Amino acid sequence: MPDFFVHESSYVDEGAIVGSGTKIWHFSHILSGAKIGERCSFGQNVSVAGGTVIGNNVKVQNNVSIYEGTVIPFIPVEKVLMSKVI
Please count the other Cβ atoms lying within 10 Å of the Cβ belonging to residue 27: 16
Name the more confident of 82 and 43. 43
Mean pLDDT of the region 63-84: 74
Would you identify the CATH topology of the domain 5-71? UDP N-Acetylglucosamine Acyltransferase; domain 1 (2.160.10)
- Delimit the domains of the chain by residue range: 5-71
Task: Name every residue whose Cβ is closer than 8 Å to that of residue 82 and which is 6 or more positions away in sequence.
Answer: 61
Using H for helix, E for strand and C for coil, what is the string for 20-68?
CCCEECCCCEECCCCEECCCCEECCCCEECCCCEECCCCEECCCCEECC
State the pTM of this model. Answer: 0.84
- pLDDT tens sequence across 25-38: 999 999 999 999 99
Mean pLDDT of the region 32-46: 97
Helix, strand or coil for residue 81?
strand
